[in-house]
Amino acid sequence: MSVGSVQSADGFLIFKKQGVSMSLESVMSSHHQLLQEQSQMVSSDMVAIAKKQRVQDFFFHRVTQAFSLLVLVALLGIIISLFVNAWPTFQKFGVHFLWHVEWDIINEDFGAAIAIVGTVASAGIALLIAVPLAFGVAVFLTETCPVWLRRPLGTSIELLAAVPSIIYGMFGLFVFAPLFADHLQVPLQKILGGMPLVGFLFGGATNGMGILAAGIVLAFMVLPFVAAVMRDVFEITPPILRESAYGLGCTTWEVVRQVVLPYTQKGVVGGIMLGLGRALGETMAVTFVIGNANRMPTSLFSPGTSIASVLANEFGEAENLHFSTLFALGFLLFVITFVVLALAKMMILRAEKAKGN
């Protein structure tokens, strides 16, 4: 038998078999049934895709949550292990351990004051030197530097951040210390050593070692980190803000002070805190040039010690209470870093609150 079909005006096919045609109602019914089957298939596919996505989202959420909790667990583990090992020292000396200036390994009489003062003093000197220099470098790179010089100069700063700390220590001991003693310590002691009020800061032996030398070497190390962060946050300032300020007749310094710095305040403080954390915890570079003397420094040229240098020098031979005391110093270094970061966060919050008011 011959089977034929014709196209109707409304788009439906009307089939003819031996001269008998199917009715329009049956065609519409079959078409509607076909649409329902297709919609059911599509809906079932969508449900399957949605279930698959929910499973993927669940596992992704749990995996990222596990990574975050792993960092928290590691931090808590470090704190607990430090405190547990340091407990014999805290139990014997109590709070007096913080300001006790004795460090007698033979008689097991220990105090943390010498190491704390050396750590805070060297890190403070490093920031006083590095932050203004890093700010100037960042402003030059983002505001006034020629385009052809911007990339190689920025790359050079990033390469300085990659130099190992022991290289800085060797540079400080064999290159910087002799130059520092001959060309800076001696003239400063001759000029300022006899002056009232500040003369005592420049007393002591001029051998290139001491708190000031350690602070300067730390400044070399901190500078690339702070400068790189400041440069990056300065670059995210919207160009329209800069252009508007220049259009009003502002100078470059006014644009930086009144537009760039307020916009990037959090990033700038974060970069400074990053540098401070590096300075507080630095070990080898400080150990090479600080002098490693367990006595309270009386001037900028006096040899001293830091928490990190004490740990590096004495952990290999420590035992009993001496071993516990080194863990106590490590715990105190952690507390000092935490307090500094907390104060920085509070400062940022207060500044933002003042802006809001």
Per-residue DSSP letters for 95-138?
Answer: GGGGT---EETTTTEE-SHHHHHHHHHHHHHHHHHHHHHHHHHH
Identify the residue with better confidence: 354 or 307.
307
Q: Contact 225/278 with Cβ under 8 angstroms?
A: yes
Listed range (42-46, 196-200, 294-298) with the worst mean pLDDT: 42-46
**Nearest Cα residue to 118 out of 292, 261, 275:** 292
Note the maximum CA span of the chain: 127
Q: Contact 151/231 with Cβ under 8 angstroms?
A: no
Q: What is the reported pTM?
A: 0.79
**Nearest Cα residue to 2 out of 17, 14, 13, 24:** 17
Give the pLDDT score at 277: 87
Identify the residue with better confidence: 353 or 118.
118
- Number of helical H runs and strand E runs in the chain: 14, 5
Please write the tens of the pLDDT for every residue from 154-191: 888 888 888 888 999 999 999 999 999 988 888 888 88
**Is the per-residue pLDDT at 350 higher than 50?**
yes
- Per-residue pLDDT, averaged over 60-78, amounts to 91
- Per-residue pLDDT, averaged over 18-24, amounts to 48
With cut-offs at 50, 70 and 90, classify the pLDDT of residue 7: very low
Please write the tens of the pLDDT for every residue from 203-235: 888 888 999 999 999 999 999 999 999 998 998
Give the pLDDT score at 330: 93
Give the pLDDT score at 24: 57
**Is the per-residue pLDDT at 302 higher than 70?**
yes
The neighbour count for residue 314, using CB atoms within 10 Å, is 19
Question: Quick one: CA torsion of 81, 83, 86, 90, rounded to 10 degrees?
Answer: -170
With cut-offs at 50, 70 and 90, classify the pLDDT of residue 32: low
For the chain, what is the mean pLDDT? Answer: 84
Q: Contact 226/137 with Cβ under 8 angstroms?
A: no
**DSSP assignment letter at 23:** P
Indicate the SS3 state at residue 151: helix
